Chain A
Amino acid sequence: MDSRLYMSSSPHIRSGVTTQRLMLDVIIALIPASFAGVYFFGLRAAVLIAVTVISCVGFEYLMRKVMKRNNTVGDLSAAVTGLLLALNVPPTLPLWMAVVGSFFAIVVVKQLFGGIGQNFVNPALAARAFLIISYGTRMTSWTPPLAKAAEIDAATFATPLGALKEGGQLPNLLDMFLGNIGGSMGETSALALIIGGMYLLIRGVISWHIPVVYIGTAGLLAWILGPNGLFTGEPLFHILAGGLMIGAIFMATDYTTSPMTTRGMVIYAAGCGILTILFRLYTNMPEGVSYAILLMNVAVPLIDRFTKPARFGGKAHV
């Protein structure tokens, strides 16, 4: 029997946490938002989810084969990227564009940089930005939720942030909280996203720092930089509008593209919040969450460098 003993460096036991389980938890946490998307925008939304998930997993599989690397489909990260991509695009996006987005996310942003853990920006968000640049019209054509389709002229329909920019009529906060508004299919229901976020917190997948600081900073700045002078803004509107909820809970918390220390996370999340509001208020884009997170993703190595934990015993004692 001795010849078959395992030899290895200590430690000899591991926690039950695995990458696959963490990714599965993220998928579970996105179920409420996915259902909300299908509920508000119809079965087309479900088809879109299926297309992005299958194409992302497929591209991951093929790319690993082409690169002659081990198969990483099993870690579920490609499925998470696919799901997040679907939730971050308009429900009416042509399916072939969704496939192009999946290709960009998995092949260009993720695998060309080395696969899971190596991408320097969030793949789903980068794909969204790529689609906006490539297919601007289709990426900003919004349909009203099914419940409102009858009473609204779909041709001139706008998201809450679009309405704010164009001077249209703003929806009420309750509709925004529930998700009964226009927007990307997974971003509209704050309620569903918060339920998912609570699940991630309870499971220990994410800590509260990034979502709370991000949303808090954005709300605070939106209030300060109000339309009628300082401290006249509507923080709740900005918090519930657009992609802030899904961004703060699911996109900015992506492990690979967020800082390693709690201190770093706070700086990063505050940066996301500030950039989001500045983009929304002072650029000609209605929404700024994607670009805010992408920019802060790029700043993560810098943040990590300046937020190293203090060395144990480094300070004089007593």
Chain B
Amino acid sequence: MSILNFKGGVHPPHTKNTMECATVSVGIPETVVIPMAQHIGAPCQTLVKKGDYVKVGQVIGNTEAFVSAPIHSSVSGTVTSVDERIITGSRPVVCVEIKPDGLQEVSEDIMPPVVDSRESFIKAVRDSGLTGLGGAGFPTHVKLNPPKDVKIDTLIINAAECEPYITSDYRECMENTGSIIEGINHVLKWTGIPRALIGIEDNKPQAIKKLSEAAASYGNITVHGLKTRYPQGAEKMLIKSLTGREVPPGKLPHDVSCLVMNVTSVSFIAEYLKTGMPLVKKRITVDGSAVKNPGNVYALIGTPVRNIIDFCGGFSAEPKKLIMGGPMMGVALYSADLPVMKYTNAILALDEKDGAIPDEYSCIRCGRCVKACPMNLLPYEIDRLVKAHLHDDLESLNIMDCMECGSCVFACPSKRLIVQSIRLGKDILRRASKK
């Protein structure tokens, strides 16, 4: 087992407190709120209206757009409202609120899909509502269907899980090892990709061992230990570590003949092909200094964060920051009433000490951000130009290459909000190019 790595990155504390916490179900909440945009791409059109009775697995949102995925009801019950709400981000999203009847009656449409060709496989994946479960939420069927002239020679399974706290993919490796291998075989079979590489950070030796044993009988599936270093699980870093290939700026993994899928995503495909039950629940790591009993839970999509925290014993201290996702790339929530979505892999509640935003001091040009940047950018210089409103030079600093991993901010002794500047700078450039 070789230890593979990329250049740059940082070493945040692992804080994987929940590694040994087996997944337990939260149960049915009093209401679920299901947003019609839970993925990268076009939002779904709502197919239900107030007063409708819906069943588990019933499609309640869909669209004709290619880069999108249908959205299903996670409960049986009555639609109580369809309205626009602010979830994360700044734009309102249409949300369907459902009052569950507690019966969890399953939709009649739920049956294992018939898959006998590449096309029917990709259609099945789309129908399943699967979007990247690692946190980015890119519709999976789009990845499986690259342009005709693209030849993919390597399927990369992302089990790196480099964000602190999160152990949901690790639990998938431990609890559903067989499904992972089965799912990989489905993808390899129907896409014609010859080999699969599973990448896991070497701070998870149990998962490496378990997957290696399960993959042993398949010569074309290999498991690789990766150096534990954030952001090892970032798509471009993972490809670099495992294959030595660098995805060119503005290009996609398929431009270097790779397809990257999250480990829980492939496992879900195997389950879906067996049962036909679309993506209506999600494993979520619940942790942070303000959570009483951290653990891993299965929550129905649309469950309010508050219910999940209550299930974990409630708050142990006054929560000062709620994060959906990991502490490096997750989104701060403005309310505990917001629902979990398809791509949610963690809920973190931090107390005052962990959640407070540190004061920003002057850049001392120590160079830590430059060393930390896995994309070889000059974060301090981008930060300076954005703050000085010198937008003309941003493009030459390749600001668009930034994937906002946050390594620069983590490393910065002056606690500068570099990623915030970069997001602002990108937005300014995008607006300028539209004019």
Contacts and interface: CB of A to CB of B under 8 A. Distances in A.
Contacts of B327: 10-13
Contacts of B350: 12
Contacts of A150: none
A261 B247 CA distance: 23
Contact of B406 (A6, A11, A313): A11
B12 A13 contact: yes
Contacts of B328: 10-13
Contacts of A18: 413-415
A5 B364 contact: no
A311 B334 CA distance: 36
A174 B330 CA distance: 58
A19 B364 contact: yes
Interface in A1-23: 1-2, 4-15, 17-19, 21-22
A136 interface: no
Nearest to A260: B367
A306 B351 CA distance: 45
Interface stretch (A114-122, A154-162, A224-232, A237-245): A114-122
A13 B363 CA distance: 18
B367 A255 contact: yes
Nearest to A18: B413
A115 B364 CA distance: 10
B413 A19 contact: yes
B128 to A, nearest CB: 29
A315 interface: yes
B364 to A, nearest CB: 5
Contacts of A262: 371
Given A13-B12, A117-B365, A5 B420 contact: no
B320 A6 contact: yes
A262 to B, nearest CB: 8
B382 to A, nearest CB: 12
B319 A1 contact: yes
B236 interface: yes
A33 to B, nearest CB: 22
A168 interface: no
Contacts of B164: 13
A68 interface: no
B375 interface: yes
B410 A256 contact: no
Contacts of A258: 365
B249 A6 contact: no
A12 B321 contact: yes
A2 B246 contact: no
A234 interface: no
B364 A255 contact: yes
The DSSP consensus for interface residues of chain A is loop
B376 A5 contact: no
Interface stretch (B40-48, B140-148, B167-175, B354-362): B354-362
Contacts of A315: 246
Interface string A18-47: 110110000000000000000000000000
Nearest to A19: B413
A256 B364 contact: yes
A5 B305 CA distance: 14
Nearest to A261: B370
Interface residues of B, number: 70
A310 B404 CA distance: 19
Contact of B329 (A6, A7, A11, A310): A11
Interface in A25-79: 72, 75, 77
B87 interface: no
Contacts of B271: none
Nearest to B246: A313
Given A6-B355, A10-B330, A13-B354, A313 B366 contact: no
B330 A313 contact: no
Given A2-B337, A5-B332, A7-B334, A311 B322 contact: no
B321 A312 contact: no
A72 B329 CA distance: 31
B318 A1 contact: yes
A12 B166 CA distance: 14
A311 B406 CA distance: 18
Contact of A261 (B356, B364, B367): B367
A167 interface: no
A1 B325 CA distance: 21
A203 interface: no
B219 to A, nearest CB: 23
Contacts of A261: 367, 370
B310 to A, nearest CB: 13
A309 interface: yes
B357 A6 contact: yes
B319 A17 contact: no
Contacts of B414: 18-19, 117
| Most interface-central of B13, B357, B361, B404 (chain A CB within 10 A) | B361
Contacts of A12: 321, 323, 327-328, 330, 332, 348, 350, 355
A202 interface: no
B362 A115 contact: yes
| Most interface-central of A4, A15, A261 (chain B CB within 10 A) | A15
Contacts of A13: 12-13, 164, 327-328, 354, 410
A308 B367 CA distance: 12
B376 A22 contact: no
Nearest to B417: A9
A312 to B, nearest CB: 5
Contacts of A2: 334-337
Given A5-B319, A311-B249, A118 B362 contact: yes
A16 B404 CA distance: 20
A120 to B, nearest CB: 11
Contacts of A75: 361
A313 B249 contact: yes
19 contacts: A1-B336, A2-B334, A5-B319, A8-B332, A11-B410, A13-B164, A13-B327, A15-B411, A117-B363, A255-B367, A256-B364, A261-B367, A309-B376, A309-B377, A310-B376, A313-B246, A313-B401, A315-B246, A318-B256
Q: Closest 5 A-B residue pairs measured CB to CB?
A: A11-B406, A309-B376, A9-B420, A313-B246, A313-B248
Interface of A: 1-2, 4-15, 17-19, 21-22, 72, 75, 77, 114-118, 255-256, 258-262, 308-315, 317-318
Given A8-B321, A12-B332, A312-B376, 9 more contacts: A2-B337, A6-B320, A9-B332, A9-B423, A12-B321, A14-B412, A15-B10, A255-B367, A258-B365
